[in-house]
Amino acid sequence: MTVTQSGPVALVGSGEFTPAMLDVDCALFDGVPRRVAHLATAAAPEGTARLDYWADLARRHYATLDAEVDSVPVVDRASADDRALAKRVAAAGLIYLSGGNPGYLADTLRGTACWDAVLSAHAIGMSVAGCSAGASALTALAPDSRTFEMRPGLGLDPGLAVISHYDRMLHWWPDAEARHRAALPPGATLVGIDEDTALVGGRGRYRVRGTGTVSVLANGGARTFAPEEWISFAEA
């Protein structure tokens, strides 16, 4: 299916289901049903307790926005290809991929019924958001956080690759930027998104939201964009 990016995309450095992202989440409901399909797939290798943690956090967070949350139990390739679960994803106004392992998330969803449901919903104007692992997996590259192998992302926006938690990531993974640059597909732009910060937009044009900054890591240097600034990646 061709990705049209009709709906908005939010790429979040960290802070899913916290007060830091309330304004962003509220904006993502503009013109769409206040129903969230939450996929905690990236955290599935951490066990059911962690999945339950994310589901409860999402439920309590979206209750403040008078929104219904369906934490769809997509945990592996079999469940990702389950048509009944895909229908639950397709029924949402906002589809949210939360944190964990980006590589696992991308490999689990790629080419499945649930990923097709995300694309179909997005093409008719529904919102799609990814935080941390979710933000990486929605773009061109999805590193495996266990092995640090660079994996292909899902390519909802194939023109970007994201380093989430950018203001802290280089302390955890010192060569993260170099590894991403080495694997960057032709024509893609590498961006670092700070914690509690998001890029919201699509079609190569995004607005910085939240409390931190976004760094466009291109041409051997970096350009930093503050909250409320717009970035056109054809020009950045």
pLDDT at 2 over 80: no
DSSP three-state, residue 28: helix
pLDDT at 4 over 60: no
What is the three-state SS of 31-81? CCCCEEEEECHHHHHHCHHHHHHHHHHHHHHHHCCCCEEEECCCCCHHHHC
Q: For 107-156, how does the pLDDT look when each residue is reduced to its tens digit (9 = 90+)?
A: 999 999 999 999 999 999 999 999 999 999 999 999 999 999 999 999 99
Residues in Cβ contact with 105 at an 8 Å cutoff, skipping those fewer than 6 apart? 41, 42, 97, 133, 134, 137, 142
Q: Residue 108: enclosing H or E segment and its boundaries?
A: helix 102-109
The answer to whether the CB of 54 falls within 8 A of the CB of 134 is no
Residues forming beta bridges with residue 218, ordered by sequence position = 221
Q: Residue 192: enclosing H or E segment and its boundaries?
A: strand 189-193
Mean pLDDT of all residues in 211-227: 92
pTM above 0.85? yes
Whether the CA torsion 73, 74, 79, 83 is positive or negative: it is positive
Cβ–Cβ contacts within 10 Å for residue 6, how many?
Answer: 13
Q: For 147-166, how does the pLDDT look when each residue is reduced to its tens digit (9 = 90+)?
A: 999 999 999 999 999 999 99
Question: What rounded mean pLDDT belongs to the chain?
Answer: 95
- State how far the Cα of 110 lies from the Cα of 113, in Å rounded to an integer: 9
Q: What percentage of the chain reaches a pLDDT higher than 90?
A: 91
Instruction: Please provide the size of the chain in residues.
Output: 236
Q: Which amino acid is at 95?
A: I
